[in-house]
Amino acid sequence: MQSSENTGDTVRWRVIDTPPAPGAWNMAVDEALAASVADGGAPVLRFYRWEPACLSLGRNQPARDRYDLDALAAAGIDIVRRPTGGRAVLHRRELTYSVAAPEGLLGGLREAYTAINRALVVGLRRLGVDARLQSAGGRAPVPSLAPCFAEPVEGEVVAGGRKLLGSAQRRLGSVILQHGSLPLHDDQSLVAAFVVSPQPGVDAPPATLDALLGREPAWEELTAALTAGWAEAFGAPPCPSSLTETERARAAEAAERYASPAWTWHL
């Protein structure tokens, strides 16, 4: 197991870029990385993609009998339920990040949420995006069929007055797990087409990197900028890493649960 590396009072993070994978595997890997941190391993920043495209549901989001499964299948879109809260996100043309860190390293849940999002803002500004944190005044989201990007809340990453990063968080024992979606293009507007009874007035499109930059940044450019922003925000460059054999074994076991209809449609 990889342990934390310290430079003075600075913790060295692992940074992992995993290849595109199905939703159940992606969620299982996040859980496995959180378990490694709980065992004393270094905190982790991970970047990943989804293959096939996947609609991820919030842990507490009511969803059973509320989505058109035939339409999703016809569009080649998988479905998974996340271990974290929040609302539905369509993962297709986007970057997903996850962070697993011991509770207390970045403060409590709210402090960690702000610290992580602030570090992502630093990275996005390196790309030329005028990103910032949403100021106070937004409402906390409640479980619903509204898209995750429908409205920003305090502390979330916004650009041009619209939500740019949709993130969700959960405490897993002594570890904080947070992950989120950074859209390259607007696929979130498609979510309403798969809802059996769409809710009116909740389809506000997100900000996207393609619209903000006038181009789609290459994956390597995007991950390099976010990694550099992470180093600037936390005072030390993350260490390039990969999944250990233990993490792969844990993920393989957890993936069976995330792929189970009993988990996906328990609400």
Written as one string, the DSSP assignment of 173-211 is TTEEEEEEEEESS--GGGGGGGBSSPPTT--PPPP-HHH
**What pLDDT was estimated at residue 7?**
40
Q: Angle, to 10 degrees, between the axis of helix 109-126 and the axis of helix 219-234?
A: 130
Q: What is the mean pLDDT of residues 195-219?
A: 85
In this predicted structure, the answer to whether residue 254 has a pLDDT above a threshold of 80 is yes
Q: What does the alpha-carbon distance between residue 220 and residue 235 come to, in Å, rounded to a whole number? A: 22
Q: What is the mean pLDDT of residues 29-51?
A: 98
> Are the C-beta atoms of 54 and 190 separated by less than 8 Å?
no
Q: Indicate the average pLDDT of the chain.
A: 90
pLDDT band at residue 4, thresholds of 50, 70 and 90? very low
> Which residues lie closer than 8 Å to 151 by C-beta, 6 or more apart?
138, 139, 141, 163, 204
**Greatest mean pLDDT among 128-132, 149-153, 204-208:** 128-132
**What pLDDT was estimated at residue 201?**
56
Query: What is the C-alpha radius of gyration for the chain, rounded to an integer number of angstroms?
Result: 17
Assess whether 148 carries a catalytic annotation: yes
Q: What is the mean pLDDT of residues 73-101?
A: 97
Q: Which of 90, 148, 195, 212 is catalytic?
A: 148
Lowest-confidence region among 1-10, 40-49, 81-90, 165-174: 1-10
**What pLDDT was estimated at residue 9?**
56
Instruction: Return the structure tokens found at 14.
Output: 């692992």
In this predicted structure, the answer to whether residue 143 has a pLDDT above a threshold of 70 is no
pLDDT tens by residue, 101-126: 999 999 999 999 999 999 999 999 99
Q: What does the alpha-carbon distance between residue 224 and residue 17 come to, in Å, rounded to a whole number? A: 11
In this predicted structure, the answer to whether residue 29 has a pLDDT above a threshold of 50 is yes
Q: Above pLDDT 70, what percent of the chain?
A: 88
List, in order of start, the domains of the chain with CATH numbers.
5-260 (3.30.930.10)
In this predicted structure, the answer to whether residue 139 has a pLDDT above a threshold of 70 is no
In this predicted structure, the answer to whether residue 142 has a pLDDT above a threshold of 60 is no
Q: What is the mean pLDDT of residues 155-170?
A: 92
Of 220 and 87, the structure prediction assigns the larger pLDDT to 220
pLDDT tens by residue, 66-84: 999 999 999 999 999 999 9
Lowest-confidence region among 144-158, 162-176, 226-240: 144-158
